[in-house]
Each structure stands twice: as structure tokens, then as C-alpha cells.
Amino acid sequence: MSHPHPELSVPPPLADGALRIVALGGLGEIGRNMTVFEYSGRLLLVDCGVLFPEDNQPGVDLILPDFDYIRDRLDDVEALILTHGHEDHIGAVPFLLREKRDLPLVGSRLTLALVEEKLAEHRIEAYQLEVAEGRTERFGRFEVEFLAANHSIPDALALAIRTPAGLVLHTGDFKLDQLPLDGRRTDLNGFARLGEQGVDLLMVDSTNAEVPGFTPHEREIAPVLDRVFAEAPRRIIVASFASHVHRVQQVLDVAAAHGRKVAFVGMSMVRNMGIARELGYLRVPAGILVDPRSIAELPPDEVVVMSTGSQGEPMAVLSRLANRDHPAITIEPGDVVVLASSLIPGNENAVSRVINGLTRWGATVVHKGNAMVHTSGHASAGELLYAYTLVHPRNVLPVHGEIRHLHANAGVAASSGVPRERIVLAEDGVVVDLLDGTARVVGAVPCGYVYVDGANVGSVAEMSLKDRRILGEEGFISVVVVIDSVTGKVTAGPEIHARGVAEDDSVFDEVRPMVAEALEEAATTGGADHYQLQQTIRRTVGRWVGGRFNRRPMIIPMVIES
């Protein structure tokens, strides 16, 4: 656990009539979005997502929001509202419900269906309230109006949260695509109406705030996909987020137009598209879907594989294809691979490795860098500016983005006429109070990363990750020494074994007498307790290895008395 801003003190008790906002994730990073709203002793939670680990977090499967801030107050929670069904907004819901299983879940139809699948895996049943745009619900002192938000997944919602402290408009993830595939546009009329009523705080998606202009329409993707399909001589493999229903719909439609069959590959892709199809969000042309096991029986120019792994995830389908360890599909020369997704910050190296691997086996890789095969689900700077002029908020809190995105969004807000002193830049754990029409930072609470490692949740600390990084990058050396308990002289050893440091343990013959001499010297000077002897071994071996190999491996000494 860490304190996000040492210069900020613990916040004072919440003043009467004030609304408190604390982000437990999503401010300063792309992922694990979760925000706590507090009014008059009651809490409303918005989103509960995960962050995916980077290369410097070995062995970590997921990163959760830090629930410590609310752990002792879960009985005060009125509801958990989910803005949409992406993993960075719903992935941590089962872990929160482990803490309190009767927390009410509120969301749109597709969002709750995706959450339901997650809860079933964890054997959790929860109360769910399905909502839709145009609906208003009351949760204790919080009245929430739901508005349509266009995003890269159907059924996304923006939230207008009313309390006696004022009106907060939370955009969720959104863009202003005026030609959406499903015809569902962001409710700009609703934004303008709320602006006329007076929005005290606008919380705005910052992901694309650095990108000038407007995000391209989803419909601009179809002609590019059509050209790729027309020119592909063999199989086509399209990798996308497993929740991107709109992109999958486009692939199905283009495949049908070119007489190709489609196979869904990847557990999450199969599961999510099954849900979307069952609920009517995905329209599947008759006879187009085939079992992945039948791909080999079809002519290569009649096959499309719709897979996961667009971010280079090690165990996802695309990475396994690049490594040639997928049980059913092998990349062959002439295959075309389409990466139909944006690149999540931090995944650049992993995606590059996958592209290089696929290219090595003869595939042509089409991605956003060389073709218009994907468009973002987030508003660019021009759209943000348009939203600000519609809403003309009294205060602004940029959300959902890395630090640079939050600052860029603040710049857009200022250019729209919002006074700089009314733009609040906060990070995870920073406490913001809305009181008397003004939002201000009042303190910070501890808010660190919670790592999921297999079945372990929260037991992996930063020191453990540091040890893992050392093991992975620098190697491991064990040193076993037997000493006489009376004289302190070495009677056996040192026996030295290493992994990841040298090819042959015989290279340590040079340092073995140095270790014995250092131990006997320590014994004669009175430094013969176990801890001091272990430290002597570490120092001696560490200095020698540093000079010999220019490495700093993990050194584990073991001293045995005889």
C-alpha cells in the first residue's frame, strides 16, 4: 500500500452538505476504474475494474483497486453502478463482492450479462438492477439519471448524479460518433439539458485528450476491411478485444459478403459473443459460423478466424499463433492477420513481439499503424471541447487516463472557458470535496496496487515483485556452508549453485576460498551469529560476482552448524 501524495494530509471529516469524491483507480492510469461518492455518511460506487500487469510485474495476473478505503464501510454502500462492460470497469466486481455479497449491482442489460458470467465463475450470486438510458433511480441520498453514451461496446451509460451538494455529470467512457453502427448516439441533448440546469462538476473521459480533432466514425472501418478481405489470398485472422461487439459485427458482415466462414477462437471471445448474440446485440448471418476444429477442412481462402490477443497477451490466441504453439491453427505464408484494436499504453513491446513472430512465419500483418482497421472508443480533443461548450460546468475533474491525458483534458477545459482554479487535477487516492458550488482537493488516503497472483489476492507486495524482477533479470545464487559451532571454522563448503548467472558452477571455484576466509575472519572478530555470517557471505559473493560478471543476482546464503 502506498500514499499517493505525501504532501497531502489525511482529509478532514466530510462537512455537512458536501459531496466527497475519491478515485480508487483510473486517475493516472488506463485501467482499474473505480470511484467512491460520499454524501451524508452514505456511499455510491461507480465502476470496479482491473488493470492488466506490465512487464515489470512478473507473475501478476490482474491488478485491483485498493478496497481498504471502503472495506470497513461496505454497509454504507447504496449501490455499485457500472457504466459499461469493459474489463477495466467490471473486472474487479467479483473480488469486491467477496467482501460483501449483497452489494446491489446496477447497469445496462449487456453490462450485467457480462458481469453475471464473471460472478458465475466465482460462484457468487448478486442482486442486480437493470437500467437503461432515460431512466432515473434513487439510491438513498443519490438520485442517478442514466444517459446513452456511445463507446466501443454497446449499452454504455453516462451518469447524472444529484445530491443536495449539487449535480455531477460523469461521462463514463464516451465519444461523439454521429454514425454509430447500432444507431445509439451519445445523448448530447441530455448533456445540454443538464448544462442548462447547472452542472456543478463534470467528470470527463481523458483517454484521447491529446488527440486533436474528432475520433473517426466506426463506419469508416468497413471499406478498409472489405479491401483487406478482397485482397487476402488465404486465411484471415482478425484479433480484437473480446468485448468489441461492433468490430465483430463488421467482420461478420464483410466475411458474409466475401463468402467466408468465421470461427470464434478464444474463451472470452466465444463467451462474450455468445452473450451478445443471445441478447440481440450481435446479428450473425445464417450459416456463417463454424467450429474452429473444422477450419482445416475448409479452403484457406474461405476462412476467417476471429480471435483474442490484440494486446500481445502471452496466453491469448494471437501470441500462441506467433509462437506456433496453438493446438489447432498454424500460421502459414500468405495468411493475413488484422489487429483491429487500439494499443493500450504499456503493451507496445508485447504487441511488437507478436507482429514480428507472425511476420516470421510469412503472415501479412495489418494494424492501425498501416491501415484504418480500428478507431478508438474515446472522445478526441475536438469532441471534448464540444462537450464542454454544451455543459458549461462550474467545475471539472478529468478522469480515466494517465497523468498526461488528465493534464491535456484540463487544457481543453480551460480553452472552453472553465476557469483554471475550477479545474481539479487529481490522482488515485486524492480526495475531492464539492461544497457550495466549488470542488477542491482536501487531502489524500492510502491507495496502492492490489495484485492478483493465481489464487492469491493482495499477498504479493512490491518487495516480492522486486525479488521476482531480480530473479528474472539477474539470476540466483545459493551458498551453503557448514561451520563448527565451537570454533566457527568452515568444516564443509562453501557449496555454490547458480541459475541464470553462469553456464557452469565451476566458475565459482575462485570465490569459494574467499567466502571461507571471510567467515573465519568474522568468527575471530566476534561477528559469528547466523545473520552476520549470512551477510558476510552475501557481501563477499556479491562483490565478486559484480566484478566478474557485472551482475547483481539474488544471493541466498545458508549457514549450518555442526
d(CA 139, CA 103): 12
d(CA 94, CA 475): 36
> Is there a single domain that holds both residue 107 and residue 142?
yes
Answer whether 79's CB lies under 8 Å from 97's CB.
no
In a domain, 3, yes or no: no
From 417, 438, 455, the end of a domain falls on 455
Which pairs with CB-CB distance under 8 Å and at least 24 residues apart come from 404-412?
404/210, 405/206, 405/207, 405/208, 405/209, 405/210, 406/27, 406/28, 406/206, 406/209, 408/206, 408/209, 408/210, 408/381, 409/204, 409/206, 409/209, 409/384, 411/209, 412/209, 412/381, 412/384, 412/385, 412/388
In a domain, 12, yes or no: no
CATH assignment of the domain containing 196: 3.60.15.10
Answer whether 386's CB lies under 8 Å from 176's CB.
yes
* Triad 126, 131, 133: Cα angle to 5°: 155
> Is there a single domain that holds both residue 222 and residue 209?
no
Residue span of the structural domain in which 222 resides:
218-366
In a domain, 337, yes or no: yes
Answer whether 230's CB lies under 8 Å from 198's CB.
no
> Is there a single domain that holds both residue 226 and residue 207?
no
* Three-class SS state of 203: strand
> Is there a single domain that holds both residue 159 and residue 259?
no
CATH assignment of the domain containing 251: 3.40.50.10710
d(CA 35, CA 134): 22
Give the rounded distance of the alpha carbon of 562 from its chain centre: 53
Tally Cβ neighbours within 10 Å of residue 486.
Answer: 8
369: Cβ contacts below 8 Å, ≥ 6 apart: none
Whole-number Cα distances in Å, 35 to 52, 83, 495:
18, 11, 54
> Is there a single domain that holds both residue 135 and residue 273?
no
From 366, 397, 432, the end of a domain falls on 366
From 345, 366, 387, the end of a domain falls on 366
> Is there a single domain that holds both residue 422 and residue 530?
no
In a domain, 288, yes or no: yes
In a domain, 480, yes or no: yes
d(CA 129, CA 109): 9
In a domain, 9, yes or no: no
> Is there a single domain that holds both residue 155 and residue 291?
no
In a domain, 431, yes or no: yes
d(CA 221, CA 298): 27
User: Read out DSSP for 259-296?
Assistant: T-EEEEESHHHHHHHHHHHHHTSS---TT-B--GGGGG
Using the structure block, give the residue that is written with the C-alpha cell 478507431: 375
In a domain, 265, yes or no: yes
**Confidence at residue 204, expressed as pLDDT on a 0 to 100 scale:** 97
Q: How many domains in the chain?
A: 3
Of the candidates 245, 250, 306, 293, which has an alpha carbon nearest to the alpha carbon of residue 273? Answer: 245
> Is there a single domain that holds both residue 504 and residue 381?
no
> Is there a single domain that holds both residue 63 and residue 28?
yes
> Is there a single domain that holds both residue 67 and residue 186?
yes
> Is there a single domain that holds both residue 250 and residue 205?
no
CATH assignment of the domain containing 500: 3.10.20.580
Per-residue pLDDT of the chain (562 residues; tens, 9 = 90+): 344 567 888 999 999 999 999 999 999 998 899 999 999 999 999 999 988 765 555 556 678 899 999 999 999 999 999 999 999 999 999 999 999 999 999 999 999 999 998 898 889 989 999 999 999 999 999 999 999 999 999 999 999 999 999 999 999 999 999 999 899 999 999 999 999 999 999 999 999 999 999 999 989 988 999 999 999 999 999 988 888 899 999 999 999 999 999 999 888 899 999 999 999 999 999 999 999 888 888 999 999 999 886 564 655 778 888 888 887 788 889 999 898 877 666 566 777 888 888 888 888 888 877 878 888 899 999 999 999 999 999 999 999 999 999 999 999 999 999 999 999 999 999 999 999 999 999 999 988 888 776 556 655 555 555 555 555 556 677 778 777 666 667 777 677 777 766 666 677 777 777 877 777 777 666 656 667 777 777 777 777 777 776 767 777 777 777 6
* Residue 512: φ, ψ to 5°: -60, -50
**Confidence at residue 458, expressed as pLDDT on a 0 to 100 scale:** 52
C-alpha cell at 529: 551469529
> Is there a single domain that holds both residue 94 and residue 124?
yes
